[in-house]
Structure 1
Amino acid sequence: MRNRVSILLLIMTMLTTLLAGCGKESNPAAPVVGEEEATDSGEGKLAPYEVKLVFYGPAQKDLELVEQEMSKITLEKINATVKLERIEPAAWDQQTILMLTGNEQVDLIVTGNTAFSRQVAQKQLLPLDELLKSHGQDILKVLQPEILEATKVDGQIYAIPSIRDFAANANVMMRKDLLDKYNLDASTIKTLDDLDPFLETIKKNEPTITPLGKPGAAAPIINRVLETNWDVLGDYIGVLEKIDGLKVVNLFETPEYEKLIKTVRRWYEAGYISKDAATSKETAVDLIKANIGFGVIQKGKPGALAQTEQRVNTKLELINLGKQMTSTTNITAIMLGIPTNSKNPERAMMFLNLLNSDRDLINLLDWGIEGKHYVKVGEKSIDFPPGVDATNSGFNMRQGWMYGNQLLSHTWVTDNPNLWEEMDQYNRESTKSAALGFSYNPSPVKTELAAITNVVRQFQSGLENGALDPEVNLPKFNAALRAAGIDKVIAEKQKQLNEWAEKNNK
């Protein structure tokens, strides 16, 4: 899944939309104007329609060409053309809020975690159960029932997860050329504290290089550690104390969180982290690609190393930190939902069904046009065509984790050809959260959450990027959270979790 989502990006959006008011009601079973009663696909049985898919990602010169090639397939199968509407990641929250609160047609939209909970509470996404039965049979075949169960809110499915890595662990990636230059043995790294001598060496000997960058534009330095060591239960405001238990606690009061932010503060004061990390949009990938960065604490999964190397165009070394874990939040991090703004939910579901079953269609969206943007190498792998590379390709988005069934996608030549078999094993061998399948409904405490979001915006990024002294500011942060009502939110989340556990014999 997203970009597969970062803490700050997810939580900061909550306030704006919670105050935006309730969305409009919708009846997914209502007839669509101009739609014929026949449900069979095929030209002549369905009225023409344009399906708009809204997603975030980098600009692509040949996006319209890919759109046209996809439309050739969808015209034949569901008499619909495809409109790919890309939004810059930095503008994603603001623009999608306007889209979903207005009347603009949106047939499929990338959603997940806090944004997903908010959109369901605001009635901006349609329940999909009946649409899945009528037009999503292939989705039901490829997604296990427990995966779909994790997308339910009050017993109904509101979005479909992309089929990708449903588990995650944290890892550290560092430039191999600099490790070799200073004879640094990355295999000695077992914990975050073991990074200090590595970062110190780079800081001392490479003054133009930032030793440690952020994993995402809005993701703090330690974001991937937080999201892979706790079940954050959707929004981080109340997390599981232990993965194998069902007790909800305040993450920001745990000893583990305090230790993490003290580590980051130490790095910040030593100059290992950029002084503007809390406000800058530059990521570690940006820095390494520009030859001014060294390392990053990233999210682990099969293929992560090769894929990141491809993005930065340099060799990296990877050290895993901890075992992979699966939670509802992992599953729901990246999904596609059908908004109430859709003019034809049935056709949107038909298209979503194809994204989970049609190999040619998903490879167009993932990799572009064969012969122009990629060529096949052997039976399973692909590579750039002669004369094409990452710097001049017209379509090189590399976001297959975002849409539909990634397991139908080709593997890049730098990846293991058996990557998807590895991914399946990685998912199966992960530690499963005791709350797997639980989805939290924030509606009963939306007033408190709005106030909490203000507090989070004031403290969290500064603490998790090292800019704020935890000795002074962590007590202030927790006092402000309590004043904003976090105890009430945690009690509500615990209540819902207990009810879910009792209903599901957990």
Structure 2
Amino acid sequence: MKKKLLSVLLTATTIASLVTGCGNKSGSADTGASTSAGGQSGEVEKITVYVPTSGKTDDMEAVMAKVNEISIEQIGVEVEFKAYEFGQWFQQYSLFLSGTEDIDILANYGGYLNAVSQGACYDITDLIQEYGQDIISMEGDYLKSGEIDGHQYAVPIYASYSWTMGMIYRQDIVDELGLTEQAASATSLEDWEPILAAVKEAYPDMTPYALNNGTTASNFKYGPWDDLGNFYGVLMDPTSSTEVVDLFETEEYSHLCSVMHDWYEKGYCDKDIQTQTDSFTVLTRNDAAFCTLGQADFNTAFYQSTTCNKQMGVTLFGDQVARTYNNVCYTIMSNSKHAEAAMKFMNLWFSNKEIGTLISYGIEGTHYVLDENGMGAYPEGVDSQSTTYHLGSTLSNINRILWESENPDYPELLVDNNTNCQKSTALGFSFDTSAVTNELTQLDNVCNKYQAGLETGTLDPETYLPEFIQALKDAGLEKVIAEKQAQLDAFLAQ
């Protein structure tokens, strides 16, 4: 069954293969208006796709010529890509939504709901049924992440939708200290206390516990709950409950804060953890940190081992649960004059591995070669700095070649995980914050004062957690929770 599912999904590439890569300037490929016949109608329509990127696009025109050979023949659509460096992209994003640019397909990074609220997105409910069957087959229930009020506005990337909180740690160190089984069987933060103590004693110059992302963002961002878009009202038991509750008043949150404070007092965390600037990856590469809490799934150990250049392990706290994911998704713009053609191309992008590979890595023999395992690598004498094309892919892609640094089993594992995982009762729900904008601003101000200190252990929860809870209530948290509950109830009643 697993192989059957994989064979189906490997014919449907995720559009995420586009979204990483570019230089300091915007790159585009305009292949000109096509007059040759293509597709079933014999007419060729031209569309434009806007994407952010952090790689190289010097040879975009040559790559798009190859893409269009396939696209024109199969669906009668010619495509032009315009790629912007990420910083420039976010500066220009409001302009993209304004409708003044000639955009047919737009990549959205965290701005999808705002784009819909501005009327910038085409309602593709009917189009995807007619021209997006490969997308529907691949995404299944996860396509709901691009729905609002029963209308489809976006296609989310095919990603690892299910995850939980996990402890990410140096596998080589626990092996050396004879703690391999103890780490693998740890199911709670308390189980990690003796391991941290052993690491502190054996490696006095190493910080036993560090923040994952090197900022003051929530240390518990990837908790086992479903945050429904933000922390202000969550589902604590997302697979069976639909009751929105205050996370910060739960026993679970209080317990996490207490454990972190205990670790801080015992010296398992750096005294400056609240202002830590280096990421866990950087610290680990420099032998300066042992473990961290973070988002964890089937591929975390492999990915962390690759990025940290160390042998890494991961212990999951609880079951992996799939939640709404629309942080990265693709929309057809409401002012598109070629919406049908755009939908056809999005579907082809999902279903044609050659196109997926071309867009992500360029032309074989020129921009990449295949190694003995059939995985992509730069040609001899070429690297990420000298290549003339590499949009790259650090996002989930299963219908393209894999790059040499990736897990060779990733496609099969991803499909299996997404197919067999538990799902939140709120999968597909997106919270409309327009009715509580002022309250959210005030709540953010309160969190900026208390949350990082409590979650890094620098503030004593016995003293400061009650203050935090009351300040949140004074800022309007109960109103936000009530609004979120009402919207969730309406969503579930559809």
TM-score by length of 2: 0.78
Where 2:58 maps in the other structure, the secondary structure is helix
1:379 CA drift (Å): 6.4
Distance 1:213 1:104, change over 3 A: farther
Report the counterpart of residue 450 of structure 1 in structure 2: 441
1:491 CA drift (Å): 1.1
Report the counterpart of residue 64 of structure 1 in structure 2: 58
On the 8 A contact 2:49/2:80 being kept in 1, the answer is: yes
Distance 1:211 1:92, change over 3 A: farther
Which structure 2 residues correspond to residues 359-374 of structure 1 after superposition, within 5 A? 359-367=353-361, 369-371=363-365, 374=368
| More displaced 10-residue stretch of structure 1: 480-489 or 370-379 | 370-379
Report the counterpart of residue 74 of structure 2 in structure 1: none
Where 2:413 maps in the other structure, the secondary structure is helix
1:344-379 Cα offsets, whole Å, 9 max, x none, are: 655554443333122123224445554466543456
Looking at structure 2, the residues matched to 466 and 311 of structure 1 have their Cα atoms a distance apart, in angstroms, of 27
Q: Which of 177, 186, 190 matches 2:187?
A: 190
Matched, 1:80 2:75: no
1:48 CA drift (Å): 4.7
Q: Whose radius of gyration is greater, 1 or 2?
A: 2
Distance 1:221 1:493, change over 3 A: closer
Distance 1:49 1:494, change over 3 A: closer
1:483 CA drift (Å): 1.8
Where 2:169 maps in the other structure, the secondary structure is strand
Q: Which of 305, 311, 315 matches 1:315?
A: 311
Report the counterpart of residue 438 of structure 1 in structure 2: 429
Distance 1:175 1:163, change over 3 A: same
Which structure 2 residues correspond to residues 66-145 of structure 1 after superposition, within 5 A? 68-70=62-64, 72-74=66-68, 77=71, 78-87=77-86, 96=93, 100=97, 103=100, 107-112=105-110, 115-133=111-129, 135-144=131-140
Matched, 1:242 2:241: no
Distance 1:383 1:355, change over 3 A: same
Report the counterpart of residue 475 of structure 1 in structure 2: 466
Report the counterpart of residue 53 of structure 1 in structure 2: 51
1:9-33 Cα offsets, whole Å, 9 max, x none, are: xxxxxxxxxxxxxxxxxxxxxxxxx
Matched, 1:162 2:153: no
Report the counterpart of residue 456 of structure 2 in structure 1: 465
1:306 CA drift (Å): 1.7
1:478 CA drift (Å): 1.9
Matched, 1:148 2:143: yes
Root mean square deviation, CA, Å:
3.8
Looking at structure 2, the residues matched to 316 and 421 of structure 1 have their Cα atoms a distance apart, in angstroms, of 21
Looking at structure 2, the residues matched to 397 and 140 of structure 1 have their Cα atoms a distance apart, in angstroms, of 25
Where 2:398 maps in the other structure, the secondary structure is helix
TM-score by length of 1: 0.76
Matched, 1:499 2:490: yes
Q: Give the counterpart letter for 2:50 in structure 1.
A: K
Looking at structure 2, the residues matched to 251 and 101 of structure 1 have their Cα atoms a distance apart, in angstroms, of 37
Distance 1:35 1:197, change over 3 A: same
Report the counterpart of residue 395 of structure 2 in structure 1: 400
| More displaced 10-residue stretch of structure 1: 209-218 or 257-266 | 209-218
1:450-501 Cα offsets, whole Å, 9 max, x none, are: 3323323333333323343333332222222212221111112212222333
Unpaired runs of 5+ in structure 1? 5-33
Looking at structure 2, the residues matched to 82 and 240 of structure 1 have their Cα atoms a distance apart, in angstroms, of 40
1:408 CA drift (Å): 0.9
1:224 CA drift (Å): 5.0
Matched, 1:209 2:203: no
Distance 1:476 1:340, change over 3 A: farther
Where 2:231 maps in the other structure, the secondary structure is coil
Report the counterpart of residue 24 of structure 2 in structure 1: none
Report the counterpart of residue 291 of structure 1 in structure 2: 287
Distance 1:480 1:383, change over 3 A: same
Distance 1:3 1:350, change over 3 A: closer
Looking at structure 1, the residues matched to 265 and 91 of structure 2 have their Cα atoms a distance apart, in angstroms, of 33
Looking at structure 2, the residues matched to 409 and 67 of structure 1 have their Cα atoms a distance apart, in angstroms, of 20
1:256 CA drift (Å): 0.4
Distance 1:124 1:262, change over 3 A: farther
Q: Give the counterpart letter for 2:430 in structure 1.
A: S
1:340 CA drift (Å): 5.2
On the 8 A contact 1:43/1:76 being kept in 2, the answer is: no
Unpaired runs of 5+ in structure 2? 1-13, 18-31, 72-76
Distance 1:148 1:63, change over 3 A: same
Where 2:228 maps in the other structure, the secondary structure is coil
Report the counterpart of residue 478 of structure 2 in structure 1: 487
On the 8 A contact 1:203/1:209 being kept in 2, the answer is: yes
Distance 1:49 1:372, change over 3 A: same
Matched, 1:177 2:201: no
Distance 1:431 1:143, change over 3 A: closer
1:247-304 Cα offsets, whole Å, 9 max, x none, are: 1101111110111122223333444334554444532112223333322223222332
| More displaced 10-residue stretch of structure 1: 172-181 or 149-158 | 172-181
Distance 1:392 1:494, change over 3 A: same
Q: Which of 316, 328, 335 matches 2:329?
A: 335
